[in-house]
Amino acid sequence: MDVVLVRWPEEEHRLDELRETGSPRLLLVGPQVSPPEAVDCLEDWVRLPADDRDVRARVATLEARASNGHAQPAIDGDGLLRFRKHWTALSPVERSLAGGLVERFGAVVGRDALAKRAWPKGAPTRNALDVHVLRLRRRIAPLGLEVRTVRSRGYLLQATAHDVSFERA
Amino acid sequence: MDVVLVRWPEEEHRLDELRETGSPRLLLVGPQVSPPEAVDCLEDWVRLPADDRDVRARVATLEARASNGHAQPAIDGDGLLRFRKHWTALSPVERSLAGGLVERFGAVVGRDALAKRAWPKGAPTRNALDVHVLRLRRRIAPLGLEVRTVRSRGYLLQATAHDVSFERA
DNA sequence: AGAGAGCCTTCACCGGAGCGAAACAAATCC
DNA sequence: GGATTTGTTTCGCTCCGGTGAAGGCTCTCT
C-alpha cells in the first residue's frame, strides 16, 4: 500500500478522504503552520522545508505500519501451519491442537477445550494432552511461535518474544 | 503517561528499555544521522535542531496515543494481567488483589478492602495480605507496574517511574 | 533524645497441586 | 523394514497458598 503525500493545510479535503479510507499518508506542513494532531498511526507529518531522506524515512515507516497488520499464523488447506513466510507440517493430533490455539491466537485456550478438540469422545489420559503440547512446542519453535502455559487455565499461542529485558550490569 | 525524550543514537541502550516496556518515546535525532525505522506507534522522532513547537506537537500526539490505548492495565477474561505490550499470568489470590488495584488504578486501595476481596470470609492471617502483595509486586515488575505503599492507608498501583533526568513535566 | 509500639517488608519453609519431560511400547504409514 | 504417530507410565520440578520469624522504618510517648 502506497503512502500518499498531502500538503497541509491546502489539501485538507483530500486528507479527509484518505482518513476515511484508512490510507497511509504523510502531511507536508508548511512553515509557520501548526501540524494537526492525529492519533491514527497511519498518519505522520514533516515540517517544510524537509530533508529528502527524512521524508523517505517517514514514508518507509508508514508503509511498514500499513503492511505489517500484525502477522497471524494460519493452517492452510493442506494442513500446514504457516507463519511469516515459514511453514511446518503437523500430525493429525497436532493439527487439532494448533487449530484451537490459532483460532484464539494470543488468548488462553483451556486444556479441556483443546482436549475435546483433539479427542471429541474423551481424552485417553490426562497426560496425553501434555505430551502432545510438548511435541507441538518443539515443532513450531523454528517458526517463531511458542505455546505458553497459563497455570490451571490453559495454553496460549504467541510469537516468540525476543527477550532482552534483563541486561543490567 | 509521560513521553520520554531520548537522544539518538547516544542513548540507544535506554531506548531498548523503553521499547521493551512499551513506554511512549520521542527520539531526538542529531544532524547527519539516519533515524531508526520503528513500526511501533508509540515511537516517533524529530531531526535536530528542531522547533520547540514541533517537538511539543509530536509529544502531544504520542501522549494521546498512549492514553488512548493500553496506558491502563487490565485483567482480561482469561485472568491475565495485560499492560502495554506485555502480560503475565496471575494466581487466583493475586488476581483478586490485582483486580482491586486495577479498578482504582493510580488511587489508594485500603488493606481491608483488598483483604475482603481476596478472602471474603476473612483473611487467614494478617500477614497473608503482605506476603501476597510482595509476590504480586515481583510478578508485575517486568510489566512496568509497581505497587506503592501508602502507610496506614493502603496500596496504590501505578506505572513504574522512569529516570527523571529527561522527562517532560 | 531514647524507648517502644505499630506498620510493613522480606525471607524461609512446608504440603499440595499442576505441569514438563524422558523413556518405553504399540499402532500405522510408506 | 524403517520412520512417523500415538498412547502410557513415571519421576521430578515449579508454582501456590499459608505460616512463622526476623528486621527496618516511622511515629509517638515519656
Beta-carbon count within 10 A of A79 CB: 14
Interface test with A, best of B8, B23, B29, B37 (most A CBs within 10 A): B37
Q: Residue B104 to residues B108, B109, B130: CA-CA distances in angstroms? A: 7, 7, 19
Strand D closer than 7 Å to the CB of A91?
Answer: yes
Beta bridge partners of A158: A146
Q: Which residues of A touch B68 (CB under 8 A)?
A: 39
Predicted confidence band of residue B168 (pLDDT cuts 50, 70, 90): very low
In the stretch 34-73 of chain A, residues with CB closer than 8 A to chain B read 34-35, 37-39, 41, 44, 47, 51, 53-54, 57, 60-61, 64-65, 68
pTM: 0.82
Q: What was the pLDDT predicted at A164?
A: 46
Statement: the CB of B149 is under 7 Å from strand D: no
Q: Using CA atoms, how far apart are residues A4 and A20, in angstroms rounded to an integer? A: 13
At A77, the pLDDT band (50, 70, 90 cuts) reads: confident
Confidence of residue A162 (pLDDT cuts 50, 70, 90): low
Cis before B49 (ω within 30): yes
Q: Which domains does chain B have, with CATH numbers?
A: 4-68 (no CATH), 74-159 (1.10.10.10)
Count of pairs with CB atoms under 8 A, one residue in A, one in B: 55
Contact A142, A83 (CB under 8 A): no
pLDDT digits 0-9 by tens, B17-61: 888 878 899 999 999 899 988 888 899 999 989 999 999 999 999
* A8 within 8 A of A45, measured Cβ to Cβ: yes
Retrieve residue B103's grid coordinates: 479498578
